[in-house]
Amino acid sequence: MLDAGKPFFERRTLMQSLTIIVPCLNEEGCIVPFYEEVTKTLAQKDVAYRMLFVDDGSQDGTLREIKRLCGHDNRVGYVSFSRNFGKEAAMKAGLERVDTDLAVFMDADLQHPPRLLPRMLEVLHEENVHLVGAQRKGRNDQSKSRQRLSNLYTRLSRRLLHDLDPAGATDYRVMDRLVIQALQRCPEADRYTKGLWMYAGFPTKWIPYENIERKAGTTKWNLSHLFGYALSAHLSTTAFWSCALTGCGLLFTLLTVAAILWLVLDFSKTALVLVVLCVLADLQYALMALMAILLCKTNMEVKHRPLYVVQEASSAKNAAFK
């Protein structure tokens, strides 16, 4: 059992260990700058840390750069997938290999600024909280339409998912051992880590920062990927859409019956009634598509397939600290 009243470690110890989990996909140009920035930032800090890169099936020289770092710094480790399984799988793979007091998710492109990490660690220690997150302010690198869609998603999440995270909340969060073990005990294949943080229920202390452009390369998140991610997040986190599907199905059945009765009683409205029936049929097909997605997700869960396949890995779990 997880008991918030009995921490897994003494929160006031002078030296704690930290695992920095770095999911990466085709980030060849970012690996070394990320490593250098993190090591420079934490050089004078009272924390023993290691970096765990999770290569999500990169097709460039990302793994080569990671291995080169491993060769001269034993605080660096890696896990490499056989193919691209997605960022959520990479985050889970990293989380499963954490046995330190603290852990943090960071992006390799330096849009999660390492300079913020010491402050996050201080807040976690001084304010006796379990979870500290970075809140991004301003997205001048996004188009107006994309910003509007992002704001719409935030409002929907707050209403439907009861998501209390502020606008601009990121995955850049430092967790203590209690939160780490809570997430490690969530075995589902259809993962949404922000939803798992909500499920765990630990309040997050937010530290704002101005948006930073990526160090190198291009973003892997186009509009279709973001839409799919948002849809998966809602379907995996809340039962609202299943309930809505049932309610809409009953409503459309009643409307269809009413339209047929209208046609029987008044033949002069034939064309209008046929249009109404066609619209209702289209809506029913859309709902059937949503039902198919839900069934597909259920099918994937009951198969109990592994969320990822590791092609190779270093001895990251036993990496030395400094």
On whether both 203 and 266 belong to a single domain, the answer is: no
In a domain, 313, yes or no: yes
Closest CA to 212 of 105, 107, 110: 110
In a domain, 4, yes or no: no
pTM reported for the whole predicted model = 0.73
pLDDT at res. 277: 72
Are 123 and 207 a contacting pair, CB within 8 Å?
yes
Proportion of the chain above pLDDT 70, given as a percent? 67
Q: What is the pLDDT of residues 249-266, one digit of tens each?
A: 667 777 777 776 776 676
pLDDT of residue 313 exceeding 60: yes
* Between 227 and 42, the higher pLDDT residue: 42
On whether both 244 and 195 belong to a single domain, the answer is: no
Q: How confident is the model at residue 163 (pLDDT cuts 50, 70, 90)?
A: low
Q: Span 33-58, mean pLDDT?
A: 92
On whether both 116 and 197 belong to a single domain, the answer is: yes
Q: How confident is the model at residue 96 (pLDDT cuts 50, 70, 90)?
A: very high
120-133 b/e (C-beta count within 10 Å ≥ 16 → b):
bbebbbeeebbbbb
In a domain, 58, yes or no: yes
Which domain does 291 fall in, by range? 237-303
Q: How many independent structural domains does the chain possess?
A: 2
pLDDT at res. 320: 47
Q: What counts of helices (H) and strands (E) characterise the chain?
A: 10, 8
On whether both 147 and 213 belong to a single domain, the answer is: yes
On whether both 180 and 287 belong to a single domain, the answer is: no
pLDDT of residue 28 exceeding 80: yes
Tokens of 79: 């896990």
Q: How confident is the model at residue 174 (pLDDT cuts 50, 70, 90)?
A: very high
Q: Span 174-195, mean pLDDT?
A: 89
Which residues lie across from 274 on neighbouring strands?
Answer: none
Rg (the chain; Cα; Å): 24
Q: Cα-Cα-Cα-Cα dihedral of 185, 91, 57, 37, to 10°?
A: -150
On whether both 161 and 29 belong to a single domain, the answer is: yes
In a domain, 1, yes or no: no
Q: Span 186-204, mean pLDDT?
A: 85
